[in-house]
Amino acid sequence: MLDGSFAQTVLLATGNAGKIAEMQRELKSLGFAVVAQSEYDFPEAVEDGLSFVENAIKKARHACLHTGLAAIADDSGLEVDALNGAPGIYSARYADGQGDAANNQKLLAALDGVTRREARYQCVIAYMQHAQDPTPILCQASWEGEIAHQPAGSNGFGYDPIFYVPEFDCNAAELDTEQKKTLSHRAKALALLKTALDQ
């Protein structure tokens, strides 16, 4: 466990403001000062792995190599059963990099007329102390739901507007931040990471 009297700087390998704020908030109590990759001038990692695990490790190792800092990276995405797990690792660039709204519209179009719409968010977080770290910490969690027929809500990003949460009878983007903390794939994976780092 880290001494809370000093902060260990750890790089978060993302430019996503929502992820950065969440990670800063959650890891502060453990004595980590989380800085964003955007504060350093180096190219983003090539995400050519075939799984969330591979891509998370690639991003963390890449960040370590370029900064000399410990790094945290996550790879997450949406798996839709009716589409054989797509968009999966390609979730963020499903609509050729045109953004969240385009991704959502493409997915809704792909499921047009489909009745069984089971889906889940997956998240893998990797923590590496240095680029040659032979035993990175890996934490994986998922969030089960369905794909709604139309978008709703504004509290979220990615596929949240069309990710239906049966137990709350609403879409993920309609949940408040506190509810998401206990439900989301990223929140659950982050809780596992906090436990691992605390030990």
Known active-site residue 75: yes
**Choice among 3, 48, 74, 75 that is catalytic:** 75
Task: DSSP for the chain, please give it.
Answer: ---TTS-EEEEE----HHHHHHHHHHHGGGTEEEEEGGGS--PPP----SSHHHHHHHHHHHHHHHHSSEEEEEEEEEEEGGGTT-BGGGGGGTTTT--HHHHHHHHHHHTTT-S--EEEEEEEEEEESSTT-SS-EEEEEEEEEEE-SS---SS--TTGGGEEEGGGTEEGGGS-HHHHHHH-HHHHHHHHHHHHHH-
Query: Which residues are part of the catalytic machinery?
Result: 75
